[in-house]
Amino acid sequence: MSGFLRKTVLITGGASGIGKIMSRLSLERGASVVVWDINAQALTDTVAELSRTGSIVGYRADLSDCEQITQTARKTIAEVGMIDILINNAGVVTGDFFHAHEPEDIAQTVAVNMLAPMYLTRIFLRDAIARKSGHVCNIASMASLISNPKMSVYAASKWAITGWSDSLRLEMTRLKTQVKVTTVLPYYINTGMFDGVRSLIPLLDQEKVALKIIRAIERDRIFLDMPCSHRLVRLMQGLLPVRWFDLVAGEWLGIYRTMEHFTGRKTN
């Protein structure tokens, strides 16, 4: 069991959405929280608001910059100490057809969603393996299992994170490090990141999602997928020929049309 009491928790993208809620929930469980976020004002406001609940500090970090990740990690360790629980939560999405993506869109999505968790976890693991204690939670996406138009680069980055995250879990088990790894696969969450999405399956409530993630860490869950009903779609994906699945899930259930009216968060 990965309890939060007297542990130090680092949450990327922790100044808004489920990151902010997980920060609060961690504090309520007796943890000290370190928040990384690119939005300086949101970071300041979150730290000020949640400081009434417990010990929390914030660091501005651009996760698309490998050197900045390294420097901010060193500063965090020097000022706060070693991290017990790392939650790789930060993410970005560009909702458009692939041919409309600019190279900068592709580079940022891959850097923030895929490379940043790897870079940061690598730094975190050095101490965690030495102490034979620690937990890494990676927020992937249901898009890492089911392809979708207008999500090609986002889906690619999340497919990579899911494969890497569970491979990391197997490595930590084989090496007997006692370091736990949890991979989270949520459907669309109503944080504003996916504003404009239209779906037969209701968007997930961010408060409930955050609580389920924290509980998954506490219980050392390997995978957390939300909602559970989405397992039926995955079952159909395994049983049906691809063209049949495209028809049933993509067209009849409307999964392939969910991003048609995507607008995304209006402000950063």
Q: Which residues are catalytic?
A: 154
Give the start-end residues of each E strand in the chain: 8-12, 32-37, 56-60, 85-88, 134-139, 179-186, 223-226
With tokens 């020097």, the residue in question is 78
Structural contact between residues 39 and 16, judged by C-beta atoms closer than 8 angstroms: yes
Which amino acid, one-letter code, is at 6? R
Structural contact between residues 179 and 82, judged by C-beta atoms closer than 8 angstroms: no
Size (the chain), residues: 268
For 183-215, what is the HEC assignment? EEEECCECCCCCCCCCCCCCCECHHHHHHHHHH
| Residue 73 CA to its chain's centroid (Å) | 18
